[in-house]
């Protein structure tokens, strides 16, 4: 005989499956939901009835056009657009990005603001809160329906679930999430911002059509994230996805991470700009590096292509180990030409990732730019609202 908590877990999983379909597909008829979720009619109707009572979903009758149609068109179930607000915050080193969204995925407001590199956790949290408050005021958003906040942070963040569960190894993350939670009084989820960008790509972006994907952010920091079977992999210590710290020169220069010859040291824009300088070509900044690949500067193109080849070698390891359907490359360098970035990566994967077992791994540009971390924070907060105890607290329809 099943214990009550086991039954609750099953029920919660069924509810999550249903909400996930509504989140990804939008309004659906009950028949479509039965087909897509695989739930029995009885279970599905029971869960929908419960969610309607709680105001989480709404059911709309079809609009009748002119004369009465013969077969009665079915009504659709969708997430209640007025039920909940979600805030995604990316607290990067010098920029704060905020996205305010609804439970049904509409973006209500977005904004960015500079923050001092030297600002401590409290000042960072307050600056983010100020930006949220300004956006809410300017766009007349009602935050009484705020459900959850997702926060992306640079570095090691192992905050799984509520801020209370944030690992003590990440004191800054905990201080920031506690301060934000105190300010708004809702559940907060924190994660590494590159990993959240991976989640955004997997939820709405370049990798939304696959269940297994790798995302790399190629900027001054080289980070990333793995989506495994539809879930963001955080790892046992909150450190999954650190593609930039895979060693490609085991006897190379020491890296701040304690390792040697890390990929990040060799392919970050500043390193490539130095390489170009040594070869007599002046490059102003990362944007100029990208621009010069488009302008056809041969040395710059050669340097970027060489870096992409190294990246492709590291990614071929990811392909062998995880068998992703897609690799999405983001960050400033992703904007360089196809033949200097995407093609060398594809070539190395084709050459090194078990060529005797050919597979189809699409290597594409990420869809989200600088907003990826904040969008991923929205996605993480949405997942939080769909899981458990938050549901009963949603306002009545």
Binding segment (CB under 5 A) for Zn ion, from list 97-105, 239-247, 311-319, 382-390: 239-247
Q: How far apart (Å, rounded) are the C-alpha atoms in residues 100 and 20?
A: 19
Comparison of 227 and 262: residue with beta carbon closer to Zn ion: 262
State which residue, 119 or 239, has the beta carbon closest to Zn ion.
239
Q: How far is the CB of 332 from Zn ion (least distance, A)?
A: 20
Rg over CA atoms, the chain = 23
Closest CB 250 distance from Zn ion, rounded Å: 12
Residue 64 vs 257, nearer CB to Zn ion: 257
DSSP symbols for 162-226: SGGG--TT-HHHHHHHHHHHHHH-SEEEEEEHHHHHHHHHHHTSTTTT-SSEEEEEESSSEEEEE
- The tokens of 54 are what? 């709680």
CB of 190 to Zn ion, least distance (A): 22
Q: Does 255 bind Zn ion (CB under 5 A)?
A: yes
Give the nearest distance from C-beta 382 to Zn ion in angstroms: 32
**Exactly one of 101, 227, 262, 382 binds Zn ion (CB under 5 A); which one?**
262
Kindly write down the DSSP assignment for every residue of 1-25, as one continuous string. ---HHHHHHHHHHHHHHHHHHHHHH
Nearer of residues 111 and 259 to Zn ion, judged by Cβ: 259
Stretch that binds Zn ion, among 86-94, 182-190, 244-252, 331-339 (CB under 5 A): 244-252
**Closest to Zn ion by CB, 30 or 245:** 245
User: How far is 333 from 218, CA to CA, in rounded Å?
Assistant: 6
For residue 337, the tally of other CB atoms under 10 A from its CB is 17
Looking at residues 341 to 370 of the shown chain, list those that interact with Zn ion (rule: CB under 5 A).
none
Cα 95 to Cα 93: distance, rounded to the nearest angstrom: 6
**Binding of residue 155 to Zn ion (CB under 5 A):** no
Strands 146-153, 187-192: pairing kind:
parallel
Residues of span 103-132 touching Zn ion by CB under 5 A = none
Task: Enumerate the β-bridge partners of residue 29.
Answer: 76
Burial class (CB in 10 A: 0-12, 13-18, 19+), 134: middle
Residue 266 C-beta: closest distance to Zn ion, Å = 10
Using CA atoms, how far apart are residues 69 and 360, in angstroms rounded to an integer? 46
Q: At what angle do helices 171-184 and 121-138 cross, to 10 degrees?
A: 30
**Smallest distance from Zn ion to CB 195, Å:** 17
Does 198 bind Zn ion (CB under 5 A)? Our answer is no
Q: Is 245 in the site for Zn ion (CB under 5 A)?
A: yes
Buried b (16+ CB within 10 A) or exposed e, 350-367: beebeeeeeeebbbbbbb
Beta pairing, strands 57-60 & 231-232: unpaired
Site size toward Zn ion, by CB under 5 A? 5
Selected range binding Zn ion among 187-195, 220-228, 262-270, 354-362, rule: CB under 5 A: 262-270
Among 31, 257, 295, 354, binds Zn ion (CB under 5 A): 257
In the bound complex, what is the minimum distance in angstroms from residue 310's beta carbon to Zn ion?
14
Q: Residues 111, 259, 325, 395: which binds Zn ion (CB under 5 A)?
A: 259
* Residue nearer to Zn ion on the CB measure, 240 or 363: 240
For residue 238, how many other CB atoms are within 10 A of its CB? 22
Q: Could you tell me the smallest distance in angstroms from the CB atom of residue 268 to Zn ion?
A: 11
Using the contact rule CB under 5 A, the part of the chain among 74-82, 261-269, 334-342, 368-376 near Zn ion is 261-269
Residue 289 binding Zn ion, by CB under 5 A: no
Interface residues with Zn ion (CB under 5 A)? 245, 255, 257, 259, 262
């Amino acid at each position: 005989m099943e214990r009550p908590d086991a039954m609750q877990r099953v029920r919660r999983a069924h509810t999550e499956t249903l909400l996930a379909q509504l989140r990804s597909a939008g309004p659906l008829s009950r028949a479509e939901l039965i087909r897509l979720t695989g739930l029995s009619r009885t279970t599905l109707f029971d869960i929908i009835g419960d969610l309607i009572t709680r105001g989480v979903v709404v059911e709309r009758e079809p609009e009748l056009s002119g004369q009465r149609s013969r077969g009665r068109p079915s009504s659709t179930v969708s997430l209640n657009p007025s039920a909940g607000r979600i805030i995604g915050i990316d607290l990067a080193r010098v920029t704060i990005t905020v996205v305010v969204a609804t439970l049904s995925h509409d973006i209500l407001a977005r904004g960015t603001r500079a923050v001092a590199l030297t600002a401590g956790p409290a000042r960072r949290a307050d600056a983010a809160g100020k930006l949220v408050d300004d956006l809410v005021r300017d766009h007349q958003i009602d935050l009484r329906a705020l459900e959850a906040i997702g926060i992306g942070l640079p570095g090691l963040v192992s905050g799984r679930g509520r801020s209370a569960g944030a690992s003590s190894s990440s004191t800054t993350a905990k201080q920031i999430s506690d301060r934000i939670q105190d300010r708004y009084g809702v559940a907060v989820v924190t994660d590494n911002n590159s990993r959240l960008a991976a989640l955004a790509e997997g939820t709405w972006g370049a990798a939304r059509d696959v269940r297994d994907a790798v995302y790399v952010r190629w900027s001054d920091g080289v980070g990333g994230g793995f989506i495994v079977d539809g879930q963001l992999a955080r790892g046992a210590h909150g450190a999954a996805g650190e593609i930039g710290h895979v060693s490609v020169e085991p006897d190379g220069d020491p890296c701040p991470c304690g390792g040697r010859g890390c990929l990040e040291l060799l392919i970050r824009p500043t390193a490539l700009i130095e390489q170009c300088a040594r070869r007599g070509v002046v490059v102003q900044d990362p944007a100029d590096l990208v621009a010069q690949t488009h302008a056809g500067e041969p040395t710059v193109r050669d340097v970027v292509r060489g870096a992409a080849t190294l990246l492709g070698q590291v990614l071929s390891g990811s392909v062998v180990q995880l068998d992703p359907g897609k690799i999405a490359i983001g960050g400033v360098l992703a904007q360089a030409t196809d033949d200097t970035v995407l093609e060398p990566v594809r070539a190395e994967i084709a050459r090194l990732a078990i060529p005797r077992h050919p597979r189809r791994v699409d290597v594409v540009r990420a869809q989200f730019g600088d907003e990826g971390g904040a969008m991923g924070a929205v996605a993480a907060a949405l997942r939080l609202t769909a899981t458990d105890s938050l549901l009963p607290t949603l306002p009545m329809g």
